[in-house]
């Protein structure tokens, strides 16, 4: 009888303990590629090891409509979502994201100001830059004026097919100071000036749509200079390429973590985001891929070789532009439509 009681109690205790032993899991949605691989090494695997929670990583292409459908149907399956700046702003305005409780994730004093918003917190900094192949172009370009000067540097130019970034680079090439680019571009005269500059280069442009195309174009010699995402250039160089970046006049932006409205594991999502914003963990991340940390204390942990590849290093950020999401929210639709017509002419 005594043994039976002990067995019963043991079974009861085991049953009561089962919920506590169940492994917590959260779904983190990213853009895939080399950046996702870096997230796995710097954030997912260490977080799982430290907490015992399971990270389920999914990839997407920024489909805001899919998120909106889940939120409206109250059937959200994502816990943490990586978004670009325009989607962070728009998603917050549309009520698609939970408000960020900074008391639970990070001290605002440690984060760069651009990382802090009501519904999203920036966790990396990336840049659109000018890139070239160091094995094929022996004399480095001096600036965006050289990018548009096909007599000085003959050959095709790679550019992302769209108005964004290209209009800014056109004005820089035409002698406009970085601080004056967006105020000028907001005027009819400024937009006309940018399109005129692009028109002169148009016969020499090879368009790209995906960031992965740029290293391929440069390595093959299809283009001699190209606009590029700095992380794509860094990833190619880690595979043995000799691609170079001209940093002055680059345009930097952030990517953000958000928590979809109604996420099933909000508390765990906050814990994960807090983990990813710790200086030590961000330092690990940027050693994997050349995106800048948003925790300013992480910079002190990086050696000179790592710093020279980052958009947030002092030298590389000195003459950079901050992507103006407000400008593109106001005028982007009009300028993209104008660009689409211009591209077919």
- Could you tell me which of 330, 336, 332, 322 has the C-alpha nearest to residue 178? 322
- Phi and psi (nearest 5°) for 84? -85, 165
Cβ-contact 251, 168 below 8 angstroms:
yes
Q: How far apart are CA 52 and CA 66, in angstroms?
A: 30
Supply the pTM of this predicted model. 0.86
pLDDT digits (tens, 9 = 90+) for 179-209: 999 999 999 999 999 999 999 999 999 999 9
Tokens at 146, concatenated? 């050289």
Q: What is the pLDDT of residue 19?
A: 43
CATH 3.40.190.10 domain extents, the chain: 24-126+254-317, 127-251
Whole-angstrom Cα distance, residue 14 to residue 8?
10
272-305 pLDDT, tens digit each: 999 999 999 999 999 999 999 999 999 999 999 9
Region of 217 (left: φ > 0; alpha: ψ -120 to 50; beta: rest) is alpha
Bridge-partner residues for 116, per DSSP? 121
In degrees, rounded to 5, the angle at the alpha carbon of residue 156 between the alpha carbons of residues 171 and 344 is 70
Rounded CA-CA distance 276/61 in Å is: 21
Q: Which CATH entry fits the domain spanning 24-126+254-317: 3.40.50.1820, 3.40.190.10, 1.10.760.10, 3.90.245.10?
A: 3.40.190.10
- The pLDDT tens digits of the residues spanning 32-78 come to 888 899 999 999 999 999 999 999 999 998 888 999 999 999 999 99
Which among 311, 289, 294, 312 is positioned nearest to 33, based on CA atoms?
A: 289
Superfamily of domain 127-251: Periplasmic binding protein-like II (3.40.190.10)
Q: How far apart are CA 219 and CA 231, in angstroms?
A: 16
Q: What share of the chain is helix, strand, coil (3-state, %, to 5)?
A: 50, 20, 30
The DSSP bridge pattern shows strands 80-84 and 225-229 to be unpaired
Q: For residue 265, give the H/E element and its range.
A: none
CA atoms within 13 A on the CB side of 305: 2
Q: What is the helix (H) or strand (E) element at residue 27, kind and residue range?
A: strand 25-30
CA dihedral 93, 292, 82, 239 (to 10 degrees): 150
């Amino acid at each position: 009888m005594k043994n039976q009681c002990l067995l019963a109690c043991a079974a009861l205790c085991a049953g009561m303990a089962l919920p506590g032993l169940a492994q917590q899991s959260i779904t983190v949605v990213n853009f895939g590629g080399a950046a996702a691989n870096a997230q796995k090494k710097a954030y997912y695997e260490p977080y799982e090891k430290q907490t015992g929670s399971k990270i389920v990583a999914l990839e997407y292409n920024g489909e805001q409509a899919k998120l909106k459908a889940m939120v409206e149907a109250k059937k959200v399956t994502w816990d943490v979502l990586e978004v670009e700046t325009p989607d962070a702003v728009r998603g917050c305005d549309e009520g698609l994201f939970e408000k960020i409780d900074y008391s639970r994730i990070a001290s605002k004093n440690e984060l760069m100001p651009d990382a802090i918003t009501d519904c999203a917190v920036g966790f990396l900094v990336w840049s659109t830059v000018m890139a070239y192949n160091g094995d094929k172009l022996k004399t480095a370009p001096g600036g965006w004026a050289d990018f548009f000067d096909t007599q000085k540097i003959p050959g095709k130019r790679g550019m992302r097919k769209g108005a964004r970034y290209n209009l800014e680079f056109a004005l820089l090439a035409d002698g406009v100071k970085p601080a004056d680019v967006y105020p000028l571009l907001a005027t009819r005269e400024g937009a006309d000036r940018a399109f005129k500059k692009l028109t002169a280069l148009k016969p020499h442009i090879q368009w790209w749509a995906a960031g992965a195309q740029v290293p391929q174009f440069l390595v093959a010699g299809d283009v001699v200079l190209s606009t590029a995402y700095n992380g794509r250039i860094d990833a190619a160089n880690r595979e043995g390429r000799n691609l170079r970046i001209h940093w002055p006049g680059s345009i930097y932006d952030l990517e953000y973590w958000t928590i979809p409205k109604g996420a099933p594991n909000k508390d765990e999502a906050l814990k994960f985001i807090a983990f990813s914003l710790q200086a030590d963990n961000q330092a690990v991340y940027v050693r994997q891929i050349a995106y800048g940390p948003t925790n300013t204390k992480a910079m002190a942990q990086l050696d000179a070789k790592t710093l020279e590849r980052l958009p947030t290093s002092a030298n590389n950020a000195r003459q950079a532009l901050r992507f103006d999401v407000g400008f593109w929210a106001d005028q982007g639709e009009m300028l993209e439509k104008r660009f689409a017509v211009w591209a077919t002419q």
